Structure 1
Amino acid sequence: MKKVAVLVDGGFYRKVAKYLWGDKTPEERVDELIRYCRLHLKDRDFYTKKGNKKIYQYNEMYRIFYYDCAPIDKTVYNPLTQKNFNFAKSPTFIWMNNFLNNLKQRRKVALRMGFFADEEMNYVFSAETVKKLCKKSITIDDIQESNLVLNMRQKGVDMKIGLDIASLAYKKLVDQIVLISGDSDFVPAAKLARIEGIDFIVDSLGMKINDNLTEHIDGLRTYYKVNINSDSDDEE
C-alpha cells in the first residue's frame, strides 16, 4: 500500500469543475473535490480477479493539500461606470468564504493560502475585446461592462506548491504525489520529486498540458469522465 498526497491547484480546479459538473453550493463543491481526490487512491497496478471483475487495491491518503487565495474583500474602481465596487458584498465573496470554511473542517485536508496583489488589481479589456478593437469591428464608444475583466494576480500559490513537493520528496513522507493542475511551471518540482524516488502523477482534468511537463512526470491520469456524483469510479 502506497501513501499518496494529492495537491490541488484550487483556482484551476474550481474553474474546470464548474465547466464539467456545473454550479454547486460550497458544501457540494467541497464534497465533490474530496470525492474526486480519493479516486486517485485506486491503485490500477495492483488488483485481483474475481471472475471477469478486477478487484483493485486502494492506497492510503496522506493528505489533500489545497492551494488558493482568499476571496477579494477590496473596493475596486470601475473606469467605465466610474463607480467603486465592493467585492466583500458580492455573491462570489460569500460563496468562496463558505467554500474555504467548509474545506477547513474536513479530515485529511490542509489549506495553503496565497494572496492577490492589491497594487496590480485593475480592470482591463478582455482578449476578445482587444481583437475586435484592433479589427475595428467595434469602437471605444461600443465598450460595455461585459468587455472588461478584473485583472488579478495570485502570489505565493505556486511557490507553496513547489515547496510542499520538495518537502514531501526530501522527507520521504509519501510514495506518490498527484498534482491536479494544468500549469507547466511545476516542471522543476516534478523533476526533483522523481529524482527522490517519488511517483509523480499529473491530473489536468482533461485539459491539454504542455509537452515539457509531460516529459518530466511518471504519468497523466484523470477521472474527469467519471460520474462524480456516483459511488462508482468507473468511467462513463
Structure 2
Amino acid sequence: MESLKNNFATKTAILVDGGFYRRRAQAVFGDQTAEERAAELANYCMRHLNFHGESSNLYRIFYYDCAPSSKRVYHPFLKKQVDLGKSDLFEWTTLFFNELKKKRKFALRLGKLAEEQAHYTLRPQIVKKLCNGSIQFSDLQEDDFCLQIDQKGVDMKIGLDIASMAYKHQVDQIVLISGDSDFVSAAKLAQREGIDFVLDPLGAPIKPDLFEHIDGLRTCNKAYTAHTQK
C-alpha cells in the first residue's frame, strides 16, 4: 500500500490571487523587475508540486488580477490630473502580465478595475499621525497619498474556477495562494467534493474561519517553514 501511495501522482491546480501575491511578494522577497517577479512566481508555484515528498503533476496555474488602469485621476496634493497610463506601475504591470503569458501552463484570468471610483487618498498611517497631532497638514508629501481603486470580478472568477474543477473532478488538489477569507465557501465546496484544498498565504496570518475549512496551510519559503500546518 505504501508503494502504491508513493507512486500515485496528484493532479494539482494552483490558483494565484494576483493582487495579494504582488503585495506580499514585495514584502517577503523584495522589489523585483517585472521579468524577475514573473520568473519568481513560476518557480514558487512549482515548489508546491514536490512539497514534503509529495508527488504532484501540474494541471495548470491560474493567475487572477486586473489589467492596470490608464485613467486620468486628480491628485489632491499635486493639484492636477495624473495619467495612470504613463506611470511606472502601468509599465511594470503590463510587462509582468506579458511575461506570465509566455510561461507554460499559465492561464490569466483578468477582472476589471472600478475606474469610475478611482481616487487618491491619504495612507491610513498618515491619517493616524494627523489625528494624534504628530504631523500637520503642512507636513504632507506626495508619497503620503495612495491610489484607491477596487477590483471587480476577480474573487468571483476564483470561486467559479474552484467550483468548476471540484464538480468536474478535474484535479485532486487545489493550492490557493491568497489570504482572503472570502474563499471560505469555495474551500468548503472543494472539500465536500473530495478535493485536497491547500492555502498558501506566504506567511501572512489568516482568520480562524478560513483555517477551519482548508486541508493544509503551507508556505514554500524557508523563512516561513514554521507556518506549515495540517
TM-score when scaled to structure 2?
0.89
Matching residue of 1:210: 207
More deviation, 17-26/212-221: 17-26
Structure 2: give runs of 5+ residues left out of the alignment. 1-8, 225-230
1:73 positional shift: 1.0
For the residue of structure 2 that corresponds to 1:188, the secondary structure is helix
Deviation at 1:171, TM superposition (A): 0.5
Question: Are 2:23 and 1:15 equivalent residues in the alignment?
Answer: yes
| Of 17, 34, 39, the match for 1:26 | 34
1:125 to 122, 125, 149: 122
| 1:66 maps to amino acid | Y
1:33-92 CA-to-partner distances (Å, cap 9, x unmatched) read 111101111153xxxxxxxxxxx4521000000001111211111122111111111121
SS of 1:27's equivalent in the other structure is: helix
The amino acid that maps onto 1:202 is L
1:109 aligned residue: 106
Higher helix share: 2
Q: Which has the higher strand share?
A: 1
Distance 2:36 2:79 in 1: 37
Question: RMSD in angstroms over aligned alpha carbons?
Answer: 1.5
2:75 pairs, out of 65, 74, 78, with 78
Paired residues, number: 216
Structure 1 runs (4+) greater than 6 angstroms displaced? none
- 2:10 corresponds in structure 1 to 2
- Out of 190, 193, 197, the residue aligned to residue 200 of structure 1 is 197
1:96 matches 2:93 = yes
Q: Give the percent of matched residue pairs that are identical in Structure 1 and Structure 2.
A: 56
Q: Match for residue 234 of structure 1?
A: none
CA distance 1:201–1:83, change in 2 (3 Å): same
* 1:85-142 deviations in Å (ceiling 9; x for gaps): 1111112111111110111121111000011101211111111121122212333333
